[in-house]
Amino acid sequence: MKRIRNVSPIVFFLLYGRVVLRTFGLPDVPAQGALAAVLAGALFPYLYERGGTAIEFIRGLLLASSLELGALFLAPIPLGPHVALPLFAAAFAWTKRTVFSAYSAPLLAAYVVIVAVLLRAGFPLVVHVVAALVASIVVNIFPYRFRPEAEADEVKIDGGGLGLNL
């Protein structure tokens, strides 16, 4: 249940993204299923990673998605999300050095290059690359600070010597 809860913001953002794009008159993202599959694969290494690293990836992917929405306003290229979101995932895997980063970072970067070359994306794609790299930089500058419950600030009242924390 915890993993479903952690991934739910990304799923909501991807499903609701089509509505947001139509509302603002931005182009639809082609091959949304392929993008969802790539992002699910990018998320896989963090399923068994420490909680702080997984949450940091999810926060960063949401930031990259938000910045990508802004990049679509500047350069309305339908391939933008296919470049920005996997590129952020590759940069995150490269900088955080998780168990699967040796595999996931090069594969995600290769996906970005293949999509850009095969679908003949032009120079305006740079805006989307910048959105991904800015999200990666922000995540590295402001990392998620995981606080276990034992260290959380909570008021403890003595239970009369019974060892109760009320």
Q: Which pLDDT belongs to residue 56?
A: 86
DSSP string covering 30-53, please? S-HHHHHHHHHHHHGGGSSS-HHH
The gap from C-alpha 131 to its chain's centroid, in whole angstroms, comes to 12
53 vs 104: CA distance, rounded Å: 15
Domain boundaries, the chain: 2-24+32-145
The gap from C-alpha 122 to its chain's centroid, in whole angstroms, comes to 24
60 vs 109: CA distance, rounded Å: 17
Q: Which pLDDT belongs to residue 11?
A: 77
Could you tell me which residues are beta bridge partners of residue 158? 165
Q: How many CB atoms lie within 10 A of CB 6?
A: 17
Q: Which pLDDT belongs to residue 133?
A: 92
Contact status, residue 114 vs residue 48, Cβ threshold 8 Å: no
* 137 Cβ contact list (under 8 Å, min separation 6): none
Q: Which pLDDT belongs to residue 103?
A: 83
Residue 126 parent element (H or E): helix 125-141
Digitized pLDDT (tens) for each residue of the chain, 166 residues in all? 777 777 777 778 777 888 888 888 888 888 888 888 888 888 877 776 667 778 888 888 889 989 999 998 998 888 888 999 999 999 998 887 777 777 888 888 898 888 888 887 778 888 999 999 999 999 988 877 766 554 445 555 555 555 555 5
Rounded to 5°, the CA angle 54-1-96 comes to: 5
87's tokens: 């590129």
Q: Which pLDDT belongs to residue 163?
A: 56
Rounded to 5°, the CA angle 5-49-151 comes to: 75
